Amino acid sequence: MQSVPADTLDAPAAGWPLIIIGACLLIGFVAHVAGQRAHIPRVTLLLLLGFLVGPSGFQLIPPTTIDWLPLAAQVALSMIGFELGERFLGQRIRTTGRVVLAVAVVVTLGTALVVFVGLLLAGVPVVLSLLLAGMSTATDPAATVDVIRETRSKGSLTDIVLGVVAIDDAFGIILFGILVVIASGIGGDAFAPGVIGLASWELGGGLLVGLVFGLPMALLTGRIRSGELTLIETLGFVLCASGAASLLGVSYLIAAMTQGAIVANFARHHSRPFHAIKNIRQPFLIVFFLLAGLRLDLAALKAAGIIALAYVIARSIGRVACGTLGAQVGRADQNVRRYVGLCLLPQAGVALGLGLLAAEEFPEFGDRLLSLLIGTTVVFEVVGPIVTRVSLRLAGEAESQSAVPKGDLPA
């Protein structure tokens, strides 16, 4: 089948960008309907469809379309981050905070340890094992949130999973910085102090940006009526905070979550902006997941070989076992203990970002690192949401597949 020439995107009268965006939304509609009938998460279908129409598949979409991914990812993840910030509402923290913190800490530390030991046993060099262990702690909040929204799940497991994905990337970034320091010492590199400063700035700067934009947003939210003005105000503040975070080189995801947490706790009508975001985020998420599918590369997975297999097995064991252990430490109920780790398998953007940083500073491992991360993304992004969906259903928290999702996360 003929691929669309890349240079047609530059033709003055061409409408390819609009056609591609429109086609993405229609594909999203088909994926939604097909997913309901086949009991497959929409995000998995979108990623697979993106792979099929992309450069590694039938090449129906110009390769240059991948260049749109960073912007689409930032817009979609900023919305998800802001929405996850609502999970830090004071009353909710008092109810589930102990369990969320226990699971997040144990899963972060435990997964890194299991991956490190597993890779060492597979014959991977110590420095590379440390770097991959640090990256293994990252999750994909967008995929997890989308599955929960699609299944309209409600209950203790759902609350804990949403709380964990809201904070474990922050813990993961801190641990990654520490492990890179150790790896630098083993390799005799002087890079270590720079990593500590970079990780501190990314987290602290993200918190500061979220605070700067969250406080005026909380103040304004209580003074306007719900409706279109709330949507305009919310989207404006979220995008401005995300853009400012990028310009400063800090985590826009942390900034968005901080912003959401401030609005949730200090705004007079705090629920309005979150409902506004929920009503418009879906088209952005569809485009994001489809574009992410364009980057899936089976060749990279094959090239990574035995290391990729060891990484997938070790990370999966670490997430599941440490999720159960963390839930026991936090004295969670049986449903949470049994299924929380299974809901934390998806991995994407944050891990790739950490991989790019490590590849730049450890060029001798750069190609192997990126090939492995891109390749294993195929596994965790395709299989992870399916496992999450099945776990939510087995826990009795997902509604019937015949129900039509309304688009809200559980309150």
Task: Give 189-239 pLDDT, tens digit per residue.
Answer: 544 555 566 667 877 888 899 999 999 999 988 777 766 678 888 999 999
- Cβ atoms within 10 A of the Cβ of 217, count? 25
Specify whether the backbone of 296 is left (phi greater than 0), alpha (psi in -120 to 50) or beta: beta
From CA 89, how far away is CA 84, in angstroms rounded?
10
Burial bucket for residue 279 (CB in 10 Å: 0-12, 13-18, 19+): exposed
Tell how far CA 18 is from the center of its chain: 26
Tell how far CA 317 is from the center of its chain: 20
Three-class DSSP category at 223: coil
Tell which CATH classification among 1.10.600.10, 1.50.10.10, 1.20.1530.20, 1.20.1250.20 matches the domain 69-394: 1.20.1530.20
- Look at residue 175 in the predicted model and tell me its pLDDT: 82
Has this prediction a pTM greater than 0.75? no
Residue 191: both structure tokens together: 């890079």
Residue 386: both structure tokens together: 């399916």
Up-side HSE of residue 33: CA atoms within 13 Å toward CB? 5
- Look at residue 194 in the predicted model and tell me its pLDDT: 58
List alpha helices for 222-269, DSSP H: 228-248, 252-266
- Please report which confidence band the pLDDT of residue 319 belongs to, taking 50, 70 and 90 as the band edges: very high
- Cβ atoms within 10 A of the Cβ of 223, count? 10
Q: How many residues are recorded in the chain?
A: 411
Residue 272: both structure tokens together: 């309005």
Q: Which amino acid is at 13?
A: A
Query: What mean pLDDT do residues 284-312 have?
Result: 78
Phi/psi of residue 186, each to 5°? Answer: -65, -40
Query: What mean pLDDT do residues 238-247 have?
Result: 94
Closest by CA position to 282, among listed 164, 387, 145 = 145
- Comparing 278 with 148, which gets the higher pLDDT? 148
Over 70: is that where the pLDDT of 367 sits? no
Cβ atoms 260, 52 nearer than 8 A: no
Burial bucket for residue 123 (CB in 10 Å: 0-12, 13-18, 19+): exposed
From CA 410, how far away is CA 151, in angstroms rounded?
11
From CA 284, how far away is CA 281, in angstroms rounded?
5
> Which residues, at least 6 apart from 14, have a Cβ–Cβ distance to it below 8 Å?
8
Query: What mean pLDDT do residues 127-152 have?
Result: 87
Over 80: is that where the pLDDT of 284 sits? yes
Task: Kindly report, as residue ranges, where domains of CATH 1.20.1530.20 are found in the chain.
Answer: 69-394
> Of all residues in the chain, what percent carry a pLDDT higher than 70?
82
**Residue matched to tokens 């709380």:** 163
In this structure, of 30-39, 110-119, 127-136, 180-189, the range with the lowest mean pLDDT score is 180-189
From CA 56, how far away is CA 74, in angstroms rounded?
24
Query: What mean pLDDT do residues 300-304 have?
Result: 68
Q: Following CA atoms 176, 180, 186, 188 in sequence, which dihedral angle do they give, to the nearest 10 degrees?
A: -170
The CA distances from residue 368 to 363, 375, 376, in Å, are: 10, 10, 12
- Look at residue 190 in the predicted model and tell me its pLDDT: 47
- Look at residue 402 in the predicted model and tell me its pLDDT: 40
Residue 368: both structure tokens together: 């192997």
**Residue matched to tokens 């195929």:** 378
From CA 235, how far away is CA 136, in angstroms rounded?
32
- Look at residue 193 in the predicted model and tell me its pLDDT: 54
Q: E-strand spans in 271-339? A: none
Three-class DSSP category at 334: helix
